[in-house]
Structure formats: C-alpha cells, structure tokens
Structure 1
C-alpha cells in the first residue's frame, strides 16, 4: 500500500461554545471552553491513521507547549520522527467559536507552522518515501509548493486541500488530487478568471470544478458540499485496464447514495450526505479534515489493491476508486459532527464500517481521546 506523508499544520485548538457566532462590535459570553489538539494537517493525519492506514508519517513543527500533541499523534500509530520541537517558537493556535447549531468560526495564530521549510520536506521524503507514495498538504504551513515539487521529483502523488485559500500559492501542474469545499472552489475559480464566480447549486459547482480541474491540470477533484454531500470529477484514462463498474449510475433507484455520469474523459460522481440527523450535529470543527484524511487513506488502500494505478500511472485512478473513497470519507465526517472537538471527534475505522452497514450514526467508543 502506498505510504502517506502529511506536511502538516499542528495547532492547539481553543474551542468556545457560544449562542451564535460573534458579530463585529459585539461582546459575547462563552458558556464553555475546551482545549484540544488540532490543525488541519494534524486532523487529516490522525483521520488517515484511524482509518486503518498503517504508514502515515507527519512532518511538522511545534513549540514546547505542543509536546502533548506529538504524543497524541504517535498514539494513533502515525510516525512522528519528523515533528520538530522549536524551543523559542510557540505551537500554532486556533481560536474556535461553536454556536448552538454546531456551526463554527475560526481564526489562526500560525506559530511554528510557519517555520516549516523545503529542507524539512526534503529530509523526510529522502529517508523513506517511494514512487507512488502520497504527499498530503493544506495551506496552513509555509513551503507548501516547495514540498509539492520535491514530492513530484521523487514520483510521489500529491493530494492538496488548499485551505485557507491563498492567492500567493499557485500549484498548477503539481497536484494530482484536489479537495476543496464549495467556498474554496468558488475562490479558486474567481482567482483563475479574475472576477466573481457563480457558486449557486450543484450544477454550478460541477461547472466550476471542471474549469478548475482543467486549469490546475489535476486528475481528480473532490468538492465537499456540507448537507448536499460531495461531488467528484475523475479524469479517465483510456489505457486503464482495471476499471470496474461504478457503484451507482443515474439510472439506479433513488435510494442509492451516489450517482455518476460521463462527459468525454471526465466522469462525475455525486455522493449524498451521510444520514446524520440535525439533532445529532454537535460540532462541525474538523469534519472536513476527517473527510480529507479518510479520502486519502482510501485512495491509497484501493491503489494497494490495484498496483497498476500507482506512481506514474496516477491518471488511472478510477471513478470506482474515487467513488469508494468519497463514500467512506462521507460517513467518517458524518460521525465526526456528532462529537465536540476536532481530533476528539475523528472516528476509528470500525465505527465508520458500522455506520456504513447500519446507517446509524453512533460514536460510543470510550477509547477515543
């Protein structure tokens, strides 16, 4: 199975429960405060490890105040040999408001996350990466593009979640799999065209995703759409010899959670939201990162089953592989919103499998920390 290297942001999350997200000029009293491990890179890395992937390496930097997070990451089974402790720089922080409906608002202090360099990427990738391994990145650290270039130089596959979107980070031609939410997709499209992009309905999202896919020259793009589920576009290789029938098509019955359609060499996959009731939603923090981590791990797992899709043949990632990974990621993130916190809400694979089987979103494992 291809290994996963996560060029990761590592944060201490301070979570405040509030009646509503604070407005400009407003002073609001929080009803609860919690502190958790966080950072988009940390969350996605732990999600990949908890999915059952046995080779997840985290590359990151923390201050002395973040040693407990390094220990937590190690407890998930991820490799922490490339998490460096900076004695004079604090760990990154995220200040998170969570309202009564479970929605959140976040601002970041980057701290040690902005001390990552291309040398950190080179040292980690030179030691243990192989052709066909995955590099997983977000936009919460420095040296993002440099790390991508090094990964491509050694034949790795790059999965990028460009959050937060930064117009200074241009990665065209370096990304194999792009994962964005609806607003991130619209912002990337706006930057591409230099004007406001429409972001209204699923049809518009599909159109924007196709434009961004072609512009960035990536092979797969996945768009998470909250309560509307997710959308995937896959470039199909005519040389692909291991394609299997996709799980569902537009002609299937309405009870299916996914559908697909093909336009030229791009296959569109639509995935419904996991069956989580509104009364079960407690906190959406980290749900998107859970989706990313599980998605990456499932792509790697499926490639392990079909080794002809690894490495230089990344274009032969099939719609079926992507559809499977989207489904597992959707159910994992569905479970995540039923719990408070980011890392604390990321489910283990056995729980996700049970949810997929029963369609009942229940997290009751006391071992999750």
Structure 2
C-alpha cells in the first residue's frame, strides 16, 4: 500500500533577535539559520521513519532543490515533486531572546500547483492507496474529488484552518486528523461529544482522530471509540509533535495495525519529538520508538 502525501515544502528562515521588530524599526539579528520545513515535508519524513512507503507530491522553485535531498535521504520518493515554481514556499521566523517566535508565511510554489500536475501525479496511484493532505497547498477540493474518483483512501489534516476547509465535501474523506482548535472551527461546537456528533453527521463512515495536547488523543468512528493518554516528558520544542503523531499513526494504519496500537505508537513517537529541538530533525526512528515503549 502506497501513501501519497500531496503537501507543502518550505524553507524555514530563522532569525534570532533581541525582540520582535516593531513598525518603523530596523533591527539587526544575532543569528540566521535555514531549515527544511512545511507540514507536508515534516509528515512525509515522519511517515518514512515510521516505515511507510511514502511518495511526496508538491512544488518547489530552484531555490528549494535541497528539500528534495532532505526527503530522499529519509527514504521518501520524490519523483512527483516539480521544480518549476516561482519561489519555494518559506517562513520568516523571528525568535526572541526569551524564546518566543513570530512567523510570516509565504506560500510560493505551494500555491502554484496546477490541475495538470495533479492529474499526472494521481495517474500513478490506485484503489486502496492512501492520499494525505494538509491545507498549505492550493487545489485541495480538486485533489479530493479526483482521488475519490480513483478510489484512494483520503486522510485530511486541516491545518492551517481557514474557510476553504469548510467548503470540502467531507463525505469523501476517510480519516480526519485534527486538533481541538481545528475541530471547533469546522463544527462551531465546543465540546468533544458535540464535535464528534457533528463530524459524523457529515459522513457516517468518517474516522476521526482528535488530538488534545497533554490530554492525549481520542479516536472515534460510528462504532468504536479509543482514548490514549499522553506520555509525560520534559518538553523542549513542540514544533513537530503533531506531524510526528500523524506520520506514525498513518503508517501503522497502512500496515493494518489495530487502532489502539496505532494510537499508542504515534503518541510515544510524538512524546520523543517534543524532547528535541527542531522540526524534521526531531522526529524519531521506529527503532527509537519501539525501544522506549
């Protein structure tokens, strides 16, 4: 079973500053670093480290060619990443001396995906393969429609949440993996019970994974519900926690693991990631996860 992650590819441009720059101010940074980023890239690396057969579809400019190398080194297939974007998507991140950050995101090539490109990529996948989507690229509605026609199982992580997500046909989504903020925005409900009730009214076959941070995670479908508590660790950086969880959970599902085991392994992987700095670099290997359970 193949997993196609049609997702974002970003360059994170990180500036260390004494404080966030104010209107009209010119401020010198004390350090500058570049890192591979984007939810799509992070989730593909998590999937690969968890043992999945993952293919990444997306768009970069010539300034982002190193992102393909990063993915390939993690055993992600990069055949369906195109390089004709105007500028690779990127984030300008200020990190203050107190550790706070503020982020300016530019979609760039991530927002230049064409219908022709989508059709070319999806030709290589068929019934029972899995499609993973986030909300950092364009043409999400079209990708969902075409993938559904081909019989792919569709997994949606509606992050970052915006109005475009509410326009999607949720009857064509198989797995919805989201956090509390995203769930409340989609359903206009405030309690978990009402959130689940509303989402299942949109699609009775939907499988929902609701992540709750330190409160753990809840899986629910029309028949069963499972809860997994979080692992207590000393948190250093939560940047890639959600992406790590998703990658490990989906990898387990693709290998026909029981939901309870998938939740346990994914939660353990996320708990390791938050003890390390960085995004993609913080994602553990399956060997590390299994040795710590």
2:252 and 2:262 in contact (8 A); partners too: yes
2:245 and 2:269 in contact (8 A); partners too: yes
Counterparts of 2:197 and 2:178, CA distance in 1: 13
- Look up the match of 1:114: 111
C-alpha deviation, 1:90, in angstroms: 0.8
Where 2:201 maps in the other structure, the secondary structure is helix
- Look up the match of 1:72: 70
2:200 and 2:221 in contact (8 A); partners too: no
Does 1:341 find its partner at 2:254?
no
C-alpha deviation, 1:107, in angstroms: 3.4
1:104 and 1:284 in contact (8 A); partners too: no
1:16 and 1:96 in contact (8 A); partners too: yes
C-alpha deviation, 1:83, in angstroms: 0.4
C-alpha deviation, 1:31, in angstroms: 6.2
C-alpha deviation, 1:49, in angstroms: 0.5
- Look up the match of 1:248: none
Pairwise CA RMSD: 2.5
Q: Show the 5 A alignment for 1:1-369.
A: 2-16=1-15, 33-53=32-52, 55-86=53-84, 89-96=86-93, 105-127=102-124, 129-169=125-165, 170-171=167-168, 172-190=170-188, 197-198=189-190, 204-235=191-222, 265=223, 267-277=224-234, 281-302=235-256, 321-356=258-293
Change (3 A) 1:102 1:156: farther
Q: How many residues align?
A: 290
Counterparts of 1:233 and 1:26, CA distance in 2: 50
Give the TM-score, by structure 1 length.
Answer: 0.72
Where 1:173 maps in the other structure, the secondary structure is helix
Where 1:302 maps in the other structure, the secondary structure is coil
Counterparts of 2:98 and 2:212, CA distance in 1: 17
Query: Comparing 59-68 with 222-231, which one deviates more in the overlay?
Result: 222-231
Give the TM-score, by structure 2 length.
Answer: 0.90
Q: Gaps (5+ residues) in structure 2?
A: none
Where 2:164 maps in the other structure, the secondary structure is coil
Q: Gaps (5+ residues) in structure 1?
A: 191-196, 199-203, 236-264, 304-320, 357-369
Change (3 A) 1:111 1:71: same
Counterparts of 1:149 and 1:353, CA distance in 2: 37
Counterparts of 1:33 and 1:210, CA distance in 2: 47
Where 2:131 maps in the other structure, the secondary structure is strand
Change (3 A) 1:114 1:335: same
Counterparts of 2:267 and 2:134, CA distance in 1: 19
1:286 and 1:336 in contact (8 A); partners too: yes
Counterparts of 2:51 and 2:128, CA distance in 1: 19
Change (3 A) 1:17 1:209: farther
Counterparts of 1:104 and 1:284, CA distance in 2: 13
Where 1:284 maps in the other structure, the secondary structure is coil
C-alpha deviation, 1:213, in angstroms: 2.9
C-alpha deviation, 1:296, in angstroms: 1.2
